[in-house]
């Protein structure tokens, strides 16, 4: 199997560095992510290793790292299925507190749990850390963060936190 | 035993509201090997639904690492995976080396594999001991933790620290092998081989253990693949996959070893496979001690940056001190991923560099986090008394899952 040709059938925007075992495929529109994920699964990428976001000033890049346990040729490949999403405009600019969701609204992408059940816990983590709403995830709850961190999206670059005001002299 | 539910949709559609089911909260104060809460819905004593509530020992390792110099992430990732420190260290360093395009010399590669295999044995002994105390055998718990000690002493002899070694640095390792290490290691290996026979007599072939573990917590091959579980738990279900074979790193391409797999995928197989892997690790350590090549223990790019005092130290004490390059390290812009087979399973790293002093995105996934489906999918349909068996058999470590 020539992995490059197979990936080019799915999207024209791919990056391959075989020496460093680095494979990346970029899907530009979120409407096409289901088809791409289905084609990858049919190729033999049968499980998700990690789901995460990368925060940029104007967009959030959602990355599903997928790999294979069943197809011998693909066992050595960590493929990054990437979907860049534009951040929506803030609803309320006058809000003074920096962490409210109204000022930093979450981005919405389709969930791939239906295709890869192994993405379930990973998508929950990406949701609470980056504010990525995975539409269609059957159980999108907070996983690790305590209640006072709700809607703060702490892994985004503009996250600010209040230091404790208690000092012991 | 009722029929198992593997379809994630069905699982979510169970109506657990109302008074029919008892909700039992296990934890969060240390139900087993660390702090986590397991919320269990019970019909009588049959488990209907399990919701693992993790995050009680979340230590924000990704957030911290994105706000520190590159080299300072090594202690952070080590302290997350305490029984598996060398592998966490190795996985991170492999990713950084891919960004820096540095290749360590052969002797450093062998030393990395050596310390990694010693660490794998300690990790498996830790897992076997915890499994023992879960099933109520404090003998095996004491035995395993006691037998872990000689291997930790070996690590101390080689690296200068018992657990958090910080031994592996970009470009090589920090210490060369000391005199007398080979003889000491051979003594320890022979001791462990003797002890493994004792373990088989009193623990592995014990009818009580077999009665409590065989056909408990069965994970079929197809389900193991689709749920994406890792490590010995994956291989116990019959999937032939090991990162050391399929994405080789360190000295593993040159070593002769086998990947043991099992068929049934029950708790007993997950115990057996750890014993088998200890035997393979012993075999690998013997090969490494025999074939260890001569030469430098750091890449030339690092060695050339040592100042004369450091070079003298390197020649006399066989120790690499940190050149200034390490703290001012700025890997060129790009992205890299790396995988390492740790004792509990596969560690995955994804790091994005923008050529800055700090990593722009630091992402890592630990094996225990990926073994969480054992709670949500495998424990369902069993009796409550089998939950500790399943928990113990997957060698789950909450601080590692939370990161």
What digits encode the pLDDT tens for the residues B76-104?
A: 999 998 888 999 999 999 999 999 889 99
Residue A30 corresponds to which tokens in the numbers above? Answer: 């979120």
Residues of B in contact with A50 (CB under 8 A): 348, 350, 363, 365
CA distance B328 to B356: 10
The residue range of the domain holding B160 is: 61-402
Of A65, A70, A122, nearest to B337 by CB-CB distance is: A65
Least confident of A8-17, A96-105, B317-326: A96-105
Q: Who wins on pLDDT, B11 or B117?
A: B117
Flag whether residue B227 sits within 8 Å of chain A, measured between CB atoms. Answer: yes
Residue A164 belongs to a domain: no
Tell me how far apart the alpha carbons of residues B236 and B166 are, in angstroms, rounded to a whole number.
31
Q: Does A122 touch chain B (CB under 8 A)?
A: yes
CATH number at residue B368: 1.10.645.10
Nearest to A80 by CA among A108, A104, A52, A60: A52
Compute and round to an integer the Cα radius of gyration of chain A: 18
CA distance B188 to A145: 43
Looking at the structure, tell me whether residues B281 and B393 fall in a common domain: yes
Residues B372, B242, single domain; the answer is yes
- The region of weakest confidence among B208-217, B245-254, B317-326 is B317-326
Between A114 and A148, the more confident residue is A114
pLDDT value for B5? 43
Residue of A37, A42, A44, A50 to mutate for B, most B C-beta atoms under 10 A: A50
**Residue A49 domain flag:** yes
Helix/strand/coil for A16 = strand
- B234 and chain A in contact, CB less than 8 A: yes
Contact criterion met (CB < 8 Å) for B225 and A76? no
CA-based nearest distance A116→chain B, Å: 7
- What token pair was written down for B198? 């004792």
Q: What residue of B is the nearest CA neighbor of A117?
A: B227
Q: E-strand spans in B140-262?
A: 168-169, 172-173
What pLDDT, on a 0 to 100 scale, did the predictor assign at position A64?
Answer: 92
Instruction: Determine contact: A118 vs chain B, CB below 8 A.
Output: yes
Q: Using a CB-CB distance cutoff of 8 angstroms, which residues of chain B are in contact with residue A154?
A: 60, 63
Chain A residue with minimal CA distance to B12? A138
When the pLDDT of each residue in chain B is averaged and rounded to a whole number, the result is 88
B155 and B35, same structural domain?
A: no
Q: Does B228 touch chain A (CB under 8 A)?
A: yes
Is B28 in the same domain as B108?
no
pLDDT value, residue B194 = 92
Q: Which residue has the tokens 């002299």?
A: A169
pLDDT number for residue A93: 53
Write out the two tokens for B130. 């915890």
A80 contacts on B by Cβ (under 8 Å): 335, 337, 350
Residue range A43-66: average pLDDT?
Answer: 90
Looking at the fold, whether B387 and B307 belong to one and the same domain comes out as yes
For residue B378, what pLDDT is reported? 86
Residue B11 phi/psi, 5-degree rounding, is -60, -40
User: Do the domain assignments include residue A92?
Assistant: yes
Residues spanned by the domain of A59: 3-149
Say which CATH number the domain at A34 has: 3.30.460.80
Handedness of CA A25, A28, A30, A34 (dihedral sign): negative
Q: What angle do CA B379, B59, B53 make, to 5 degrees?
A: 25
Please give the Cα distance from B151 to B179 (Å, whole number). Answer: 17
The average pLDDT across B366-387 equals 88
Please choose, from the candidates A89, A105, A110, the residue with its C-alpha nearest in 3D space to the C-alpha of residue A156.
A105
Tokens 């897992």 label which residue?
Answer: B127
Q: Nearest C-alpha of chain B: how many angstroms from A32?
A: 22
Place of tokens 């992430």: B73
How many percent of chain A have pLDDT more than 70?
88
Q: Does any domain span residue A139? A: yes
- Per-residue pLDDT band for B12 (boundaries 50, 70, 90) equals low
Angle between helices B106-134 and B85-100 (to 10 degrees): 150
What's the N-to-C CA distance of chain B in angstroms?
35
For A58-108, the pLDDT digits (tens) are 888 999 999 999 888 888 888 899 999 888 876 655 555 544 555 678 888
Any chain B CB within 8 A of the CB of A117? yes
Confidence label for A22 from pLDDT (cuts 50, 70 and 90): confident
The verdict on residue B1 lying in a domain is: no
Residue B168 binned pLDDT confidence (cut-offs 50, 70, 90): very high
Residue B226 to residue A144, Cβ atoms within 8 A: no
Inter-chain touch B337–A78, beta carbons under 8 Å:
yes
Q: H or E segment at B52?
A: strand B46-53
| pLDDT tens profile B188-228 | 999 999 999 999 888 888 898 999 898 888 888 888 898 88
For residue A24, pLDDT over 70 is answered with yes
B277 alpha carbon, distance to own chain's centre: 13
Lowest mean pLDDT among A1-5, A57-61, B295-299: A1-5
Number of H-type helices and E-type strands within chain B: 18, 8
Give the ipTM.
0.87
- CA–CA separation, A168 and B162 (whole Å): 35
From the list B241, B335, B365, the residue facing A50 with the nearest CB is B365
Pair B203, B341 in one domain: yes
* Number of domains, chain A: 1
Query: Measured between CB atoms, does B348 come within 8 Å of chain A?
Result: yes
Question: Are A47 and B228 inside 8 Å of each other by CB?
Answer: yes
A47/B226 Cβ within 8 A: yes
Nearest CA-CA partner of B122 in B77, B165, B92, B93: B165
Q: Tell me whether residue B3 is in a domain.
A: no
Q: Which residues pair with residue B191 across a beta bridge?
A: none
CA distances B146 to B161, B208, B298, Å, are: 18, 23, 34
Token couple for A14: 């791919």
CA–CA distance, B32 with B50 (Å, rounded to integer): 16
The pLDDT > 90 percentage for chain B reads 39
pLDDT at B110: 93
- Structure confidence at residue B3 (pLDDT): 46
Residues B87 and B149 in one domain: yes
Query: What is the pLDDT at residue B6?
Result: 47
Radius of gyration of chain B (CA): 22
Are B102 and B246 contained in the same domain? yes
Closest-CA residue in chain A for B334?
Answer: A22
Q: Stretch B257-281: mean pLDDT, rounded?
A: 91
CB B49 within 8 A of CB B11: yes
Size of interface A-B (CB pairs under 8 A): 94
Task: Say whether B247 and A76 touch across the interface (CB within 8 A).
Answer: yes
- Which residue has tokens 């065989």? B214
Tell me, what's the pLDDT at B87? 93
CB < 8 Å to B350, chain A: 50, 52, 63, 65, 80
Interface mutation vs chain B, best among A117, A123, A152, most B CBs within 10 Å: A117
Residue from A82, A119, A121, A160 to probe the interface with B (highest B Cβ count within 10 Å): A121
Q: How far apart are CA B398 and CA B34, in angstroms?
A: 5
* B187 has pLDDT over 90: yes
Q: Are residues B138 and B265 in the same domain?
A: yes
Q: How far is B375 from chain A (nearest CA, A)?
A: 12
- The residue written with tokens 């750890």 in the block is B274
Q: What average pLDDT does the segment A19-28 reach?
A: 85
For A99, phi then psi, to 5°, come to -100, 0
Task: Please indicate, yes or no, whether residues B38 and B70 belong to a single structural domain of this protein.
Answer: no
**Phi/psi of residue B73, each to 5°?**
-75, -20
Q: Are residues B111 and B164 in the same domain?
A: yes
Chain B residues whose CB is inside 8 A of the A120 CB are 8, 373
Task: Give the closest of A46, A54, A122 to B226, CB-based.
Answer: A46
- Counted domains in chain B: 2
Q: What is the pLDDT of residue B367?
A: 92
Same domain, B101 and B197: yes
Q: Do B54 and A139 touch (CB under 8 A)?
A: no
């Amino acid at each position: 199997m020539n992995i490059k040709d197979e990936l080019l059938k799915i999207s024209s925007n791919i990056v391959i560095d075989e020496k460093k075992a680095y494979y990346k495929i970029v899907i530009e529109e979120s409407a096409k992510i289901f088809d791409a994920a289905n084609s990858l699964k049919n190729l033999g990428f049968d499980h998700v290793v990690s789901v995460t976001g990368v925060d940029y000033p104007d967009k959030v890049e959602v990355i599903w790292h997928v790999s294979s346990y069943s197809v011998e040729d693909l066992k050595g490949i960590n493929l990054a299925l990437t979907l860049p999403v534009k951040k929506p405009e803030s609803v309320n600019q006058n809000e003074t507190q920096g962490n409210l969701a109204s000022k930093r609204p979450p981005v919405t992408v389709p969930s791939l749990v239906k295709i890869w059940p192994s993405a379930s816990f990973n998508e929950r983590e990406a949701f609470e850390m980056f504010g990525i709403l995975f539409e269609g995830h059957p159980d999108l709850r907070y996983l690790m963060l305590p209640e006072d961190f709700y809607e703060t999206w702490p892994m985004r670059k503009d996250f600010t936190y209040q230091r404790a005001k208690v000092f012991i002299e | 035993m009722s029929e198992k539910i593997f379809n994630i949709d069905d699982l979510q559609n169970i109506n657990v509201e109302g008074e029919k089911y008892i909700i039992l909260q296990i934890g969060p104060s240390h139900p087993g090997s660390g702090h986590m809460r397991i919320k269990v819905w019970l019909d009588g004593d049959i488990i209907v639904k399990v919701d693992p509530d993790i995050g009680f020992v979340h230590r924000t390792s990704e957030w911290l690492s994105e706000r520190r110099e590159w080299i300072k992430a090594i202690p952070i990732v080590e302290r997350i995976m305490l029984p598996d420190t060398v592998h966490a260290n190795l996985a991170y360093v492999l990713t950084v080396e891919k960004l820096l395009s540095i290749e360590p010399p052969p002797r450093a590669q062998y030393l990395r594999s050596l310390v990694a295999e010693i660490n794998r044995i300690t990790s498996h002994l830790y897992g076997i001991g915890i499994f023992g105390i879960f099933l109520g055998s404090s003998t095996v718990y004491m035995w395993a933790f006691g037998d872990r000690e000689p291997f930790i002493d070996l690590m101390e002899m080689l690296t200068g620290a018992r657990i958090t070694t910080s031994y592996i640095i970009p470009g090589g390792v920090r210490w060369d092998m000391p005199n007398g290490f080979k003889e000491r290691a051979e003594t320890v290996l022979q001791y462990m081989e003797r002890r493994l026979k004792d373990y088989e007599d009193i623990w592995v072939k014990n009818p009580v253990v077999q009665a409590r573990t065989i056909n408990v917590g069965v994970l079929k091959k197809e389900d193991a693949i689709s749920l994406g579980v890792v490590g010995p738990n994956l291989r116990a279900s019959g999937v032939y996959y090991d990162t050391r074979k399929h994405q080789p790193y360190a000295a593993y391409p040159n070593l002769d070893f086998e990947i043991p797999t099992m068929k049934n995928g029950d708790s007993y197989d997950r115990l057996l496979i750890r014993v088998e892997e200890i035997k393979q690790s012993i075999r690998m350590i013997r090969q490494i001690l025999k074939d260890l090549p001569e030469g430098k223990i750091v890449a030339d790019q690092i060695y050339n940056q040592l100042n004369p005092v450091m070079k003298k130290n390197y020649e006399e004490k066989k120790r690499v001190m940190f050149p200034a390059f390490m703290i001012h390290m700025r890997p060129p812009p790009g992205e890299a991923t790396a995988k390492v087979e740790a004792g509990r399973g596969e560690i995955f790293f994804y790091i994005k560099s923008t050529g800055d002093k700090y990593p722009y995105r630091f992402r890592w996934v630990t094996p225990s986090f990926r073994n969480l489906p054992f709670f949500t999918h495998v424990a369902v349909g069993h009796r409550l008394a089998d939950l500790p068996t399943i928990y113990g058999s997957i060698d789950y470590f909450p601080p590692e899952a939370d990161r």
